[in-house]
Amino acid sequence: MYLDEWTSSRCRRWPTRPFVHLRDAFATRLRLLWLRAIPALSLLLLLGCDSEFDKAEIDRARTSLHQELSSGRYKQIYDSADASMHNAIDAAAFERTMRTVATKLGHPLSSTLQKWGQTLSFPLGRTITAEYLTRFEKGEGTEHITWRLRDNKLVLVGYYVNSPIFEGAQSR
């Protein structure tokens, strides 16, 4: 074998060999990724299918919250709330805020669901947020209520009311 033949045969095989290995490795990793992604996507689809049940549960939780607000059981609302609410605000501040809402707006009379949504995250679980247009005794306001699903029960995470009554009080 001459040197020319040996060199030309080596040059023909050299460029293709590393690329074949890279292509096979990429295809194997892609297959493994799909095998892991299919169960995760299936789980997300299954969790998203029970939204009507959640709407009825949200309505019951809102009704229960409004009854407790009307009764002035602010401490009971705070004690049954999620730990993230306890980390965000202490019991005395929560009670002051709820008393201010009751003083300025009065008790809730009726609510209309404007929009709602749910998120699912690994450490926290399912979080449901709802926005209501609520008529109170002394005016109207938009309630933003956030719950977290714990042991198949909605637990309060956040409560916020936006009303023109509060905006007028801030500008004075």
Residues 112 and 163 in one domain: yes
* pLDDT per residue as tens digits for the range 7-19: 555 555 445 555 5
pLDDT tens for the chain, 172 residues long, are: 455 555 555 555 445 555 555 566 667 777 777 777 777 666 665 555 455 456 888 899 999 999 999 999 999 999 999 999 999 999 999 999 999 999 999 999 999 999 998 888 777 788 899 999 999 999 999 999 999 988 888 999 999 999 998 876 554 4
Residue 82 belongs to a domain with what CATH number?
A: 3.10.450.50
Number of domains within the chain = 2
Residues 12 and 76 in one domain: no
* pLDDT per residue as tens digits for the range 42-57: 666 555 545 545 688 8
**Domain ranges, residue 14:** 3-46
Q: Is the dihedral of CA 18, 19, 22, 24 positive or negative?
A: negative
Q: In what order do the strands lie in the sheet with 108-121?
A: 108-121, 125-136, 140-150, 153-162
Structure letter (DSSP) for residue 38: H
Residue 98: which residues within 8 A CB-CB, separation 6 or more? 69, 74, 77
Residues 20 and 90 in one domain: no
Among candidate residues 46, 61, 81, the one where a domain is terminated: 46
Q: Is the dihedral of CA 14, 15, 17, 22 positive or negative?
A: positive
Residues 71 and 134 in one domain: yes
